[in-house]
Amino acid sequence: MENYLMGIRTILDANFDFEIVDEFFDHYSMMIESMEVMILDLNKPTEYSRSIEELFRVFHNIKSASGYLKMIPMAKLAAFVEDALEELRTTDALANDDIITWLLEISDMFAQWQDDLKLDNDLSHIKYSLLKIPELTK
């Protein structure tokens, strides 16, 4: 079967051990589920530190796992977000509304990829608007 006829799940199952792919799906689903709450918690001074650290860990894990599974767009976007979160971690300011909105749009992109995986589609193309990080401080 030619690769262009296969969706992402079929390609993963053909190239990697089923248990590895299945474990990725389970962990990815949990991370996607919790992502939005952590992003919204960046508005709360008492939750900020925990949320930024947890979000950083989530994107680091997605970057590593998707890189291993050769899902390059996912790995690249996760690395891009991880870098932005690293910069946020080193500032004293809380995330502004533009950053939170951007992160929610990023979360939507990763949720779209989750649907692509479930439906065995090709991975959707990254929305170009996501590739411009808003000002980190205002």
Pick the CATH number of 7-131 from 1.25.40.20, 1.10.10.10, 1.20.120.160, 1.10.287.130: 1.20.120.160
The Cα 107–Cα 123 span in angstroms is 15
The pLDDT value given to residue 54: 96
Q: What residues does each domain of the chain span?
A: 7-131
The pLDDT value given to residue 135: 85
H helices of the chain, where? 8-15, 18-40, 45-68, 72-89, 97-119
Please choose, from the candidates 126, 98, 91, the residue with its C-alpha nearest in 3D space to the C-alpha of residue 112: 126
**CB count in 10 Å sphere of residue 112:** 17
pTM attached to this predicted model: 0.91
DSSP 7: -
The pLDDT value given to residue 112: 97
Q: What is the pLDDT along the chain (138 residues), one digit of tens a residue?
A: 444 568 999 999 999 999 999 999 999 999 999 999 999 999 899 999 999 999 999 999 999 999 999 999 999 999 999 999 999 988 877 889 999 999 999 999 999 999 999 999 999 999 999 999 898 765
Q: Is 114 helix (H, G, I), strand (E, B) or coil?
A: helix
